[in-house]
Structure 1
Protein backbone atom coordinates (compact mmCIF):
# COMPACT_ATOMS: atom_id res chain seq x y z
CA UNK A 1 0.00 0.00 0.00
CA UNK A 2 1.47 3.33 -0.99
CA UNK A 3 1.55 6.21 1.46
CA UNK A 4 -0.48 8.54 -0.77
CA UNK A 5 -3.42 6.11 -0.78
CA UNK A 6 -3.24 5.69 3.01
CA UNK A 7 -3.49 9.46 3.49
CA UNK A 8 -6.83 9.43 1.62
CA UNK A 9 -8.43 6.49 3.47
CA UNK A 10 -9.35 8.29 6.72
CA UNK A 11 -11.76 11.16 6.09
CA UNK A 12 -12.68 12.34 9.61
CA UNK A 13 -13.22 11.13 13.15
CA UNK A 14 -16.88 10.38 13.81
CA UNK A 15 -17.95 12.49 16.79
CA UNK A 16 -21.32 11.52 18.26
CA UNK A 17 -22.83 10.24 21.50
CA UNK A 18 -22.57 6.65 20.29
CA UNK A 19 -18.93 7.10 19.21
CA UNK A 20 -18.05 8.60 22.61
CA UNK A 21 -19.80 5.75 24.42
CA UNK A 22 -17.97 3.14 22.31
CA UNK A 23 -14.64 4.91 22.91
CA UNK A 24 -15.12 4.84 26.69
CA UNK A 25 -16.50 1.30 26.95
CA UNK A 26 -14.54 -0.68 24.34
CA UNK A 27 -11.42 1.46 23.86
CA UNK A 28 -12.30 1.98 20.20
CA UNK A 29 -12.12 5.03 17.95
CA UNK A 30 -14.67 5.64 15.19
CA UNK A 31 -13.61 7.10 11.83
CA UNK A 32 -15.45 8.06 8.68
CA UNK A 33 -13.51 6.32 5.90
CA UNK A 34 -13.45 6.26 2.10
CA UNK A 35 -16.21 4.15 0.58
CA UNK A 36 -13.70 1.78 -1.07
CA UNK A 37 -11.45 1.40 1.99
CA UNK A 38 -10.57 -2.06 3.30
CA UNK A 39 -9.72 -3.22 6.82
CA UNK A 40 -5.97 -3.56 6.15
CA UNK A 41 -5.88 -0.09 4.60
CA UNK A 42 -7.68 1.46 7.59
CA UNK A 43 -5.32 -0.30 10.01
CA UNK A 44 -2.23 0.86 8.12
CA UNK A 45 -3.55 4.44 7.82
CA UNK A 46 -4.29 4.77 11.55
CA UNK A 47 -0.89 3.34 12.47
CA UNK A 48 0.84 5.69 10.01
CA UNK A 49 -0.98 8.89 10.97
CA UNK A 50 -1.29 8.51 14.75
CA UNK A 51 1.73 6.28 15.56
CA UNK A 52 -0.34 3.79 17.59
CA UNK A 53 -0.77 0.00 17.47
CA UNK A 54 -4.11 -1.21 16.11
CA UNK A 55 -5.55 -4.47 17.42
CA UNK A 56 -8.53 -4.86 15.08
CA UNK A 57 -10.84 -3.00 12.70
CA UNK A 58 -14.57 -3.43 12.13
CA UNK A 59 -16.22 -1.68 9.19
CA UNK A 60 -19.89 -0.74 8.78
CA UNK A 61 -21.65 0.58 5.69
CA UNK A 62 -24.13 3.34 6.61
CA UNK A 63 -27.12 3.86 4.34
CA UNK A 64 -27.88 7.45 3.37
CA UNK A 65 -31.09 8.89 4.80
CA UNK A 66 -34.14 9.49 2.63
CA UNK A 67 -34.79 13.23 2.53
CA UNK A 68 -37.47 15.41 1.01
CA UNK A 69 -36.30 18.29 -1.19
CA UNK A 70 -39.41 20.39 -1.75
CA UNK A 71 -41.83 18.10 -3.57
CA UNK A 72 -39.18 15.56 -4.50
CA UNK A 73 -37.70 12.69 -2.54
CA UNK A 74 -33.97 12.30 -2.62
CA UNK A 75 -31.35 10.57 -0.55
CA UNK A 76 -28.02 11.39 1.00
CA UNK A 77 -24.98 9.41 -0.06
CA UNK A 78 -24.11 6.09 1.53
CA UNK A 79 -20.89 6.15 3.55
CA UNK A 80 -18.60 3.87 5.49
CA UNK A 81 -17.35 4.01 9.06
CA UNK A 82 -14.64 2.05 10.81
CA UNK A 83 -14.43 1.03 14.46
CA UNK A 84 -10.71 0.83 15.28
CA UNK A 85 -9.67 -1.08 18.43
CA UNK A 86 -6.36 0.09 19.84
CA UNK A 87 -4.02 -2.09 21.87
CA UNK A 88 -4.15 -1.75 25.66
CA UNK A 89 -2.78 1.47 27.08
CA UNK A 90 -2.95 3.45 23.81
CA UNK A 91 -5.30 6.24 22.85
CA UNK A 92 -5.74 8.96 20.25
CA UNK A 93 -6.37 12.50 21.50
CA UNK A 94 -7.98 14.59 18.76
CA UNK A 95 -7.93 17.82 20.80
CA UNK A 96 -4.13 18.04 20.83
CA UNK A 97 -3.89 16.74 17.28
CA UNK A 98 -2.17 13.46 17.98
CA UNK A 99 -1.30 10.76 20.44
CA UNK A 100 -1.72 11.27 24.17
Structure 2
Protein backbone atom coordinates (compact mmCIF):
# COMPACT_ATOMS: atom_id res chain seq x y z
CA UNK A 1 0.00 0.00 0.00
CA UNK A 2 1.21 3.46 -0.82
CA UNK A 3 1.13 6.20 1.80
CA UNK A 4 -0.96 9.09 0.54
CA UNK A 5 -0.07 12.50 1.95
CA UNK A 6 -2.90 14.99 1.59
CA UNK A 7 -2.64 18.74 2.17
CA UNK A 8 -5.73 20.02 3.96
CA UNK A 9 -6.29 23.67 4.88
CA UNK A 10 -6.91 24.56 8.53
CA UNK A 11 -10.44 25.67 7.65
CA UNK A 12 -11.22 22.39 5.88
CA UNK A 13 -9.89 20.42 8.89
CA UNK A 14 -12.53 21.96 11.14
CA UNK A 15 -15.19 21.36 8.44
CA UNK A 16 -14.25 17.67 8.19
CA UNK A 17 -14.51 16.96 11.94
CA UNK A 18 -18.15 17.87 12.59
CA UNK A 19 -18.73 16.29 16.00
CA UNK A 20 -17.74 13.30 18.09
CA UNK A 21 -20.18 10.40 18.22
CA UNK A 22 -20.98 9.74 21.87
CA UNK A 23 -22.96 6.51 22.01
CA UNK A 24 -22.50 3.36 24.03
CA UNK A 25 -20.97 1.55 21.07
CA UNK A 26 -18.63 4.43 20.19
CA UNK A 27 -17.39 4.77 23.77
CA UNK A 28 -16.64 1.02 23.90
CA UNK A 29 -14.10 1.70 21.14
CA UNK A 30 -12.01 3.70 23.62
CA UNK A 31 -10.79 0.36 25.03
CA UNK A 32 -9.12 -0.23 21.65
CA UNK A 33 -7.78 3.36 21.37
CA UNK A 34 -10.56 4.36 18.93
CA UNK A 35 -12.56 7.58 18.59
CA UNK A 36 -15.61 8.08 16.36
CA UNK A 37 -16.45 11.35 14.57
CA UNK A 38 -19.20 12.55 12.24
CA UNK A 39 -17.72 13.69 8.93
CA UNK A 40 -19.10 15.07 5.63
CA UNK A 41 -20.27 12.56 3.03
CA UNK A 42 -17.57 13.75 0.57
CA UNK A 43 -14.62 13.40 3.02
CA UNK A 44 -11.99 10.82 2.05
CA UNK A 45 -9.96 8.66 4.45
CA UNK A 46 -6.65 10.51 3.79
CA UNK A 47 -8.42 13.86 4.36
CA UNK A 48 -9.94 12.62 7.63
CA UNK A 49 -6.54 11.33 8.81
CA UNK A 50 -4.84 14.66 8.02
CA UNK A 51 -7.63 16.61 9.75
CA UNK A 52 -7.51 14.58 12.99
CA UNK A 53 -3.71 14.74 13.11
CA UNK A 54 -3.75 18.50 12.43
CA UNK A 55 -6.50 19.49 14.86
CA UNK A 56 -5.70 17.20 17.80
CA UNK A 57 -1.94 16.71 17.29
CA UNK A 58 -2.08 12.92 17.52
CA UNK A 59 -0.80 10.07 15.35
CA UNK A 60 -3.52 8.16 13.47
CA UNK A 61 -2.95 4.47 12.83
CA UNK A 62 -6.10 3.70 10.78
CA UNK A 63 -9.33 5.28 9.53
CA UNK A 64 -12.48 3.24 8.92
CA UNK A 65 -15.59 4.91 7.50
CA UNK A 66 -19.24 4.00 7.19
CA UNK A 67 -22.30 5.66 5.74
CA UNK A 68 -25.43 5.31 7.85
CA UNK A 69 -28.46 5.63 5.59
CA UNK A 70 -31.24 7.91 6.83
CA UNK A 71 -34.41 6.33 8.18
CA UNK A 72 -37.86 7.00 6.74
CA UNK A 73 -39.99 8.48 9.51
CA UNK A 74 -43.57 9.71 9.76
CA UNK A 75 -44.68 12.91 11.45
CA UNK A 76 -48.45 13.58 11.64
CA UNK A 77 -48.96 11.13 8.77
CA UNK A 78 -46.45 12.86 6.49
CA UNK A 79 -43.47 10.83 5.31
CA UNK A 80 -40.03 12.32 5.83
CA UNK A 81 -36.48 11.03 5.59
CA UNK A 82 -33.52 11.67 7.88
CA UNK A 83 -30.27 12.68 6.20
CA UNK A 84 -27.53 10.14 5.50
CA UNK A 85 -24.60 10.41 7.93
CA UNK A 86 -20.98 9.42 7.42
CA UNK A 87 -18.98 8.33 10.46
CA UNK A 88 -15.23 7.82 10.77
CA UNK A 89 -13.78 5.42 13.34
CA UNK A 90 -10.24 6.64 14.03
CA UNK A 91 -7.71 4.20 15.53
CA UNK A 92 -4.93 6.09 17.31
CA UNK A 93 -1.34 4.96 17.67
CA UNK A 94 -0.26 3.64 21.07
CA UNK A 95 0.26 6.39 23.63
CA UNK A 96 -2.07 8.91 21.92
CA UNK A 97 -5.51 9.91 23.22
CA UNK A 98 -8.28 12.36 22.36
CA UNK A 99 -10.61 13.62 25.08
CA UNK A 100 -13.94 14.12 23.27
CA UNK A 101 -15.68 15.50 26.37
CA UNK A 102 -13.81 18.83 26.07
CA UNK A 103 -14.12 21.36 23.26
CA UNK A 104 -11.51 21.90 20.56
TM-score (norm 1): 0.89
Counterpart of 1:67? 73
For the aligned residue pairs, the C-alpha RMSD in angstroms reads 1.3
| One of 59, 63, 69 as aligned partner of 1:53 | 59
Counterpart of 1:11? 18
Larger strand percent: 1
Deviation at 1:96, TM superposition (A): 4.1
Distance in 2 separating the partners of 1:96 and 1:13: 10
SS in 1 for 2:13: helix
Do residues 90 (structure 1) and 74 (structure 2) align?
A: no
SS in 2 for 1:92: coil
Gaps of 5+ in 1: none
